[in-house]
Amino acid sequence: MRDYDFLVLGSGIAGLVYALQVSNFGKVAVVTKRSLYDCNTDYAQGGIAAVLDSSDTFAGHCADTYAAGAELGKMNVIRQIITEGPKLIQYLIDLGTDFTLRDDTYDHRLENLSLTREGGHTHRRVAYANDSTGHQIMLALIARCRENANIDIFENSIAIDLITQHHIVQDDGFVPGISCWGAYVMDESTNEVHIFRARKTMLATGGAARIYAHNTNPAVSTGDGMAMARLAGARLANMEFIQFHPTAFWSPGGETFLISEALRGEGAVLRLADGSSFMENYHPQGSLAPRDIVSRAIDAELKKRGEKFCWLDATKIDSEELRSHFPYIDSRLREYGIDFTKQPIPVSPAAHYFCGGVLSTIDGLTDIHNLFAAGEVACTGLHGANRLASNSLLEALVIAYHAGNHPSNREDVAFPVIPPWKQREEFNENEWVVISHNREIIGTIMDGYVGIRRSRRLLKYALSRIENIYTEVNNFYQHNAVRREVVETRNLAIIAIAVIRSALMRRESRGAHFLIDEPGRNDALYKIDTII
Instruction: For residues 249 and 215, give the distance between their C-alpha atoms in angstroms, rounded to a whole number.
Output: 10
Name residues whose C-beta falls within 8 Å of residue 509's C-beta, 6 or more positions apart in sequence: 515, 518, 519, 520, 521
Measure Cα distances from 413 to 23, 30, 152 in Å.
17, 20, 21
- What would the pLDDT profile of 309-329 be if each residue is shown by its tens digit? 999 999 999 999 999 999 999
Helix 484-505 vs helix 456-479: angle between axes, to the nearest 10 degrees? 150
Helix (H, G, I), strand (E, B) or coil at 86: helix
Find out if CATH 3.50.50.60 is the number for domain 2-240+355-410: yes
Q: What ranges do the domains of the chain cover?
A: 2-240+355-410, 245-351, 429-526
- What would the pLDDT profile of 484-502 be if each residue is shown by its tens digit? 999 999 999 999 999 999 9
Instruction: For residues 211 and 214, give the distance between their C-alpha atoms in angstroms, rounded to a whole number.
Output: 9
- pLDDT-based confidence at residue 160 (cuts at 50, 70, 90): very high
What percent helix, strand, coil does the chain show, rounded to 5? Answer: 40, 20, 45
- What global pTM score does this model have? 0.96
- What would the pLDDT profile of 22-56 be if each residue is shown by its tens digit? 999 999 999 999 999 999 999 999 899 999 999 99
Q: Which pLDDT score is estimated for 104?
A: 82
Q: Which pLDDT score is estimated for 174?
A: 82
Asked whether 392 and 353 are in contact (CB, 8 A), the reply is: yes
How does the average pLDDT of the chain come out, rounded? 96
Rounded average pLDDT over 370-390: 98
- Does residue 172 register a pLDDT over 90? no
Paired strand residues for 463: none
Candidate from 15-24, 255-264, 345-354 with smallest mean pLDDT? 255-264
Cβ neighbours, 10 Å, residue 90? 17
Find out if CATH 3.90.700.10 is the number for domain 245-351: yes
Q: Which pLDDT score is estimated for 430?
A: 94
- pLDDT-based confidence at residue 173 (cuts at 50, 70, 90): confident
Which option is the CATH number for 429-526: 1.20.58.100, 3.10.129.10, 3.40.50.300, 1.10.287.3510? 1.20.58.100
Helix (H, G, I), strand (E, B) or coil at 9: strand
- What would the pLDDT profile of 205-245 be if each residue is shown by its tens digit? 999 999 999 999 999 999 999 999 999 999 999 999 999 99
- pLDDT-based confidence at residue 80 (cuts at 50, 70, 90): very high
Which residue from 384, 354, 292, 295 is spatially nearest to 495, judged by alpha carbons?
Answer: 354
Rounded average pLDDT over 519-528: 97
Cβ neighbours, 10 Å, residue 108? 16
Instruction: For residues 265 and 276, give the distance between their C-alpha atoms in angstroms, rounded to a whole number.
Output: 19
- What would the pLDDT profile of 351-363 be if each residue is shown by its tens digit? 999 999 999 999 9
- The catalytic site residues sit at 291
Task: Give the number of residues written for the chain.
Answer: 532
Cβ neighbours, 10 Å, residue 74? 18
- What would the pLDDT profile of 174-186 be if each residue is shown by its tens digit? 878 899 999 999 9
* Farthest CA pair distance, the chain: 74
